[in-house]
Amino acid sequence: MALRKIHIVGAGLAGSEAAWFLARHAETADLEIHLHEMRPKKMTEAHHTDRCAELVCSNSFKTTNPLSAPGMMKAEMKAMGSLALEGSEVAKVPAGEALAVDRDVFAKYVTEKLASHPRIFRHSEEVTEPFADGITLFATGPLTSEPLTQWLIKATAASAPEGQEGKDLYFYDAIAPIVDASSLDHESIFLANRYDKGGEEAYLNCPLTEEEYEAFLNALIAGEKVPPKNFEKEILFQGCQPIESIAATGRETLRFGPMKPVGLTDPRTGRRPYACVQLRAENASKTAYNLVGFQTKLKYGEQAKIFRMIPALKNAEFLRLGSIHRNTYVCGPRVLRADLSLRGHPKVYLAGQITGVEGYLESAACGLMAANFIYERLLGRPLDVPPPNTAMGALLRYITGSDPATYQPINACFAIYDPAVFEGAAGLRKDDLRKLMAEQSIENFGKWWEPRPAAVESSNANPS
């Protein structure tokens, strides 16, 4: 019997994870997996080797705390047989509560593991379009090559609203910080829309006096920035300016930009604030808010210190800090189906950072989900996605079901969870709520995962 081909383009974390998952179940579905990586024939601006899963930025897979959002994600990935987590255990180095790895040992382990499997065939070549003889999974990451980028622009155009064709593929991400709603000083906040427009009041407004604004401005301009990498030199274009760069152009610029107070009246004073930071809800439950227009290149420690100078944020807990960097990714909610296949191209799937996830852990998790969806599709099973009260399900719901107009890359953080889908969550304080979500998340995932074909096969192959 002829084997069915699965082409995986990109041997980063998502591609490597997907290849390993499919290879472990290849016999049942009569699969052969072709892993295409353009390195070393064509290198990216950031990679230095031809190894699979080369880590080009941090060497950390985040915290191991099981009650944290990354910890919840790890538990579910482990249940699915994650190669990245297996490799991280082999390559881990002391890092306190964080799971950090020796980059070389990690990439070598993943590369050798993939090379050892008889159903995985690696090809060193650049791929510029999907393959005609099977399913193609693109996991090409933030530095996707120009020819493939051009194909994606054309492929996503069909899903765009009229006049927006070709604009659902992005080349930089401009990420604003997200704060935990329960950590805000609500005595320093008023709820209002600008000019009272738009029906339901949607924004939390954080006013500043002239003295507070001037102190904040000075700290913002003086704050230590992350130096751009060589391939990020063209990042500062209109619409993607870091807030500190806007501030540096003039002392009043922010008051006419992201911190403009026009159209707002502070009910406590009856007057328009001198300056105002607006917070917009990140989820339906309003447990997390993003700082509107506060994309930044400040170092993480500087962000927390400086943004807490805003009175309403003096005790803020940051669920995600801001960033701007080179990143090729699609508008997932508009162009991806619930199974991570591309609208208009049912035999093409996307996984990893190109979908809009942010981070090593999240990319690997996305690769696992895409691989499972492909596998079950080939078995003739109906689509059944992980429920939203799991880490995987919450991430998938964000990628494919959030608001396209405000879509930004996201990592594993509590902002993607909706407490309303967890039993007994109503009225709980933050720490108790997170503990409950962590406990229910892995339990809910187990109920979804354990009856699945891949889980049953793994259990039969490795009896306890």
How many Cα atoms sit within 13 Å of 50 on the Cβ side? 15
Confidence of residue 266 (pLDDT cuts 50, 70, 90): very high
pLDDT at 125 over 70: yes
The rounded distance, in Å, linking the Cα atoms of 17 and 108 is 14
pLDDT in tens, 186-200: 999 999 888 877 556
Averaged over 347-351, what is the pLDDT?
Answer: 99
Confidence of residue 231 (pLDDT cuts 50, 70, 90): low
Cα 368 to the center of its chain, rounded Å: 15
Instruction: Give the lowest-confidence range in 136-150, 194-208, 343-357, 365-379.
Output: 194-208
pLDDT at 230 over 70: no
In order of 10, 20, 151, 188, 385, the CA distances from 119 in angstroms are 17, 9, 28, 60, 26
Tokens of residue 363, six digits? 């990319």
* Contact status, residue 373 vs residue 400, Cβ threshold 8 Å: no
Residues listed for the chain: 464
CATH of the domain spanning 4-174+326-461, picked from 3.20.20.70, 3.90.1640.10, 3.50.50.60, 3.40.50.300: 3.50.50.60
The rounded distance, in Å, linking the Cα atoms of 262 and 194 is 7
Averaged over 391-411, what is the pLDDT?
Answer: 94
CATH of the domain spanning 178-321, picked from 2.40.10, 2.40.128, 1.10.3470, 2.40.30: 2.40.30
Q: What is the pLDDT of residue 238?
A: 45
Return mean pLDDT, the chain: 91
Rounded to two decimals, the pTM is 0.81
pLDDT at 236 over 50: no
Q: What is the pLDDT of residue 203?
A: 86
Instruction: Give the lowest-confidence range in 73-77, 196-200, 409-413.
Output: 196-200
In order of 119, 136, 350, the CA distances from 32 in angstroms are 5, 12, 19
pLDDT in tens, 307-338: 999 999 999 999 999 987 778 999 999 999 99
| Per-domain residue ranges of the chain | 4-174+326-461, 178-321
Amino acid of residue 211: E
